[in-house]
Amino acid sequence: MNLCTDTITVFNKRVDDGSYVYYPTVIANVSWYGKLLTSVGDKGLIAENMYTIRVPIEADFGGKSYVNPVEYAGADSADGIFTFDIGDVVIKGEVSTPMTLAELRATHYEFFTVMRVTDNRRAPNAPHWKLVGG
């Protein structure tokens, strides 16, 4: 897949001691695309960022293995595995420390919450996952 030169960190949500903790997976060699969407509403101009990330199957997952969201949720630990799921948080850049949502929001990184995941691993020309969010 062309133009896959960015590094992201995907934070998967897990319950840890009764609260949500987001566990990071650094993924290199992905495509990051962001744009500003605007529309006019009753209260004036509305603007929001929209992001599309394409993660080729040959991206560098730092030695971790992809599992589907159901397997990830049922795993005893997040060690060595990651997933792509609605509600995950994606940061442009590299972060290796688990965080709470409040800590993620306090970072200086560009980030978004995943609203849609498309599994295109069976695509004949460029197998990948597509993450969309804002």
pLDDT in tens, 7-64: 999 999 998 888 889 999 999 999 999 987 878 888 888 878 899 999 999 999 999 9
The phi, psi pair for 119, rounded to 5°, reads -95, 105
Q: What is the pTM of this model?
A: 0.90
Q: What is the CA radius of gyration of the chain?
A: 15
The rounded percent of the chain whose pLDDT value lies above 70 is 99
